[in-house]
Amino acid sequence: MDEIFHITESQQFSRNDLDELFNQADAMETLVKHRGVTDTLKDKVMVVLFYQPSTRTRLSFETAMSRLGGSYVSTENAMEFSSHAKGESLEDTIQTVANYGDVIILRYHKEGGAKRAARVSPVPVINAGDGPGQHPTQSLLDMYTIRREFGSFEGLNITLVGDLKNGRTVHSLAYMLAKYPIGKICLVAPPSISMPQGLLDYLEKHGIDYNQSDSLAAVAPHADVVYSTRLQKEYFDDPREFEAVQGKYVLSQDIVDTMREKSIILHPLPRNEEIPYVVDHDPRARYFPQVRNGLYMRMALLNKVFGR
């Protein structure tokens, strides 16, 4: 990896990078369980710059940094409470905060934000979501969760369902899955919010078997992983378009009952109606352990960014 280790998109990781991160995340779990904290990053300060709401991503990065002995400064609502509100460009803000910290965690409301930031930043920028673009650290933890559950990715049948057009988590996850000899990706979405063509081309180019379906009930019984996502309401221009797709592809208990015994259900969260609460009691539901894995993975990632 480059000397300044910006993390902007899933495609940049090699399989070796990923395998190393998975192993390090395992080590972080042991560390957290036995000692709680360490001091590997005690000389480092992380700047957290979020232009969109977040619960898990921001708090898990902050927790990860705290548990590694480092510190952080945080703007959780940069839209209103940073100089963005006074018309400052992203580039100027980045060149400002880079003077304070050693790494920048950026969530931006527009696609390409992380790459713009990386171009001007003298310190590593980590993409914590750029509009409907990508969310590579989410897919790291998603991949880590799948690996923990199945031991490998080989031959797995993975269903991605929901807003595949605007959902950055499914974009990053599909790019990352394409690094491994998985079995198949099933893409389930209404045609108006289906997977972008560029991503389908990428899957094809990398020899990944995929299909598109409009029936969750038809594909769920064959899936090892069902990865459900919410409709990204904030990116719909026309409320009527949103209403036209709302409530489709709910992973009801009836559908879950048709799933393989050893399959799992993941979701990046937050969820809306796409996974009813009753499904939480099903042994295949793994979205809360998935959240916890995010802490271990982000600890591993921060260490790696600093070569520790």
Strands (E) across 12-124 are located at: 45-50, 71-75, 103-108
- Judge contact between 200 and 237, C-beta under 8 A: no
Q: Does 56 bind ligand NCD (CB under 6 A)?
A: yes
The closest residue (CB) to ligand NCD is: 268
Nearer to ligand NCD, 53 or 155 (CB): 53
Check residue 165 for interaction with ligand NCD (CB under 6 A): no
Contact call for residue 129 and ligand NCD (CB under 6 A): yes
Does 33 qualify as catalytic in the annotation?
no
User: Binding pattern to ligand NCD, positions 203-242, x when CB under 6 A?
Assistant: --------------------------xx------------
109 is catalytic: no
58 makes contact with ligand NCD (CB under 6 A): no
Which residues share a beta bridge with 264? 225
138 touching ligand NCD, by CB under 6 A: yes
Please tell me whether residue 127 binds ligand NCD under the rule CB under 6 A: no
Residue 298 bears catalytic tag: no
| 222 catalytic per annotation | no
Nearer to ligand NCD, 127 or 303 (CB): 127
- The full length of the chain comes to 308
**CA–CA separation, 220 and 207 (whole Å):** 23
According to the binding rule CB under 6 A, does residue 10 interact with ligand NCD? no
Round to whole Å and give the CA distance between 129 and 256.
Answer: 29
Number of residues in contact with ligand NCD under rule CB under 6 A: 11
Q: Measure the CA–CA gap between 71 and 68, rounded to whole angstroms.
A: 9
Hey, what's the torsion of the CAs at 58, 61, 64, 69, to 10 degrees? -100
Is residue 135 a contact residue for ligand NCD (CB under 6 A)?
A: yes
Whole-angstrom distance, CA of residue 29 vs CA of residue 37: 11
Q: Which of 86, 205, 240, 281 is catalytic?
A: 86
CB 174 within 8 A of CB 200: no
**Shortest distance (Å) from residue 76 CB to ligand NCD:** 13
Q: Interface with ligand NCD includes 171 (CB under 6 A)?
A: no
What are residue 211's DSSP bridge partners?
Answer: 186
Does residue 8 touch ligand NCD according to CB under 6 A? no
Please select the residue that binds ligand NCD; options are 136, 268, 298, 305, rule is CB under 6 A: 268
Active site residue 86: yes
Chain centre distance of CA 177: 12
Q: What residue has token string 């992983």?
A: 225
Total Cβ atoms within 10 A of residue 164: 21
**Which residues here bind ligand NCD, judged by CB under 6 A?**
56-57, 129, 135, 138, 168-169, 229-230, 268-269
Active site residues: 56-57, 86, 107, 135
